Amino acid sequence: MLPRRLLDGYASFRNGRFQAENERYRRLAETGQNPGVLIIACCDSRAAPELIFDASPGEIFVVRNVANLVPPYAPDDDYHGTSAALEFAVMALKVKDIIVMGHGRCGGIKAALASDTAEPLSPGNFIGKWISLLEKPKAECLCHADDTEEERINRLEHMSIVNSLANLRTFPCIRILERKGEICLHGAWFDIALGELHVYDEFAKVWNRLDTPDIAA
C-alpha cells in the first residue's frame, strides 16, 4: 500500500486538477507530448520546476538529478541518464530552450565542497562519483578564501550552473543548433526561502533577479 499522504494526494488530483484539465490530458495521451522547454533541475524536493513555473501537463520536459549537473559529452559503454534525456529532448522533442536551474541551500553542492574529507554514504559512492563533475568549479570557488561557508556554497551553486552550460555545448547537436539560432541555453537559480528566481546573463556574466511586479511587496 502506498503511503496515506500519497493516496490522499492522488484522490485530490483525480477530483481536482484532473477533472479541470481532463480534455488536456486526453489530448496529450492521443497526440503525445510537445514541450518547448527542457529544464535540468536538482532532485531536491523543495525546488520542483513544475511548481515554480506553474506549468500545465505537457508544457515542460524535466530532468532532475543530484545538484542539477550536466556531464560533458562522453559516449561510451556507461549509463548516462541525463545525457539520454538530453538527447531525446533535443533530437526527438526538438525543444527550443534548455534551462539549467539550481537552487539555494543545495545538499549536492554542499557535499561537493566537503568531498575531500567526507565518508561515502555507501560502498558504491555514487554521489561522490557524480559530484566529481564539479572538481574544476570547486577548485575555482575555493580560491575565494575569505568566503564564509554559506557564501562558498552559494558561489558554487552559481558556478556549477555556468559549468553545466559549458558542458551542454560539448554535445555536437546542441552546439550546432545553438549556432543556427534554433535553440537557446539559459541558467537560473531559485532561492527557496524567498521564492525568487535569478537568471544568468552570459554576455555580462552576472546574475539578475527576475522581477515580478505583480507580486505584492
pLDDT tens string 93-136: 999 999 999 999 999 999 999 998 889 899 999 999 999 999 99
- Identify which of 200, 168, 173 has the alpha carbon closest to the alpha carbon of residue 186: 200
Residue written as grid cell 492521443: 30
Could you tell me if 52 and 27 are in contact, meaning their C-beta atoms sit under 8 angstroms apart? no
Q: Cell 538529478 maps to which residue?
A: 65
Largest CA distance in the chain: 57
Distance CA 207, CA 184 (A): 17
What DSSP character marks residue 48?
A: -
The 10s digit of each residue's pLDDT in 145-168 is 999 999 999 999 999 999 999 999
Q: What percent of the chain has pLDDT over 70?
A: 98
The three cell numbers of residue 62 are 524535466
Cβ contact 128:120 at 8 Å: yes
- The Cα 142–Cα 156 span in angstroms is 9
For residue 213, name the pLDDT band (cuts at 50, 70, 90).
Answer: low
**Could you tell me the domains of the chain?**
1-32 (no CATH), 35-216 (3.40.1050.10)
List the grid coordinates of 137: 568549479
pLDDT band at 215 (very low <50, low <70, confident <90, very high): low
pLDDT for position 214? 63
Are residues 43 and 64 in contact, defined by beta-carbon separation less than 8 angstroms? yes
Distance, first Cα to last Cα, the chain: 44
**In DSSP terms, which residues pair with 185 in a beta bridge?**
98
> Which three-class secondary structure state does DSSP give residue 62?
strand
The average pLDDT across 56-69 equals 97
Spatial CA neighbour of 63 closest among 47, 39, 90, 30:
39
How does residue 217 score in pLDDT terms, banded at 50, 70 and 90? very low
pLDDT exceeds 60 at position 216 = no
* Mean pLDDT in residue range 178-206: 98
11-56 tens-digit pLDDT: 999 999 999 999 999 999 999 999 999 999 999 999 999 999 999 9
Q: How confident is the model at residue 201 (pLDDT cuts 50, 70, 90)?
A: very high
**Strands 97-103 vs 37-42: parallel, antiparallel or unpaired:** parallel
Tell me how far apart the alpha carbons of residues 193 and 195 are, in angstroms, rounded to a whole number.
6
CB 157 within 8 A of CB 104: yes
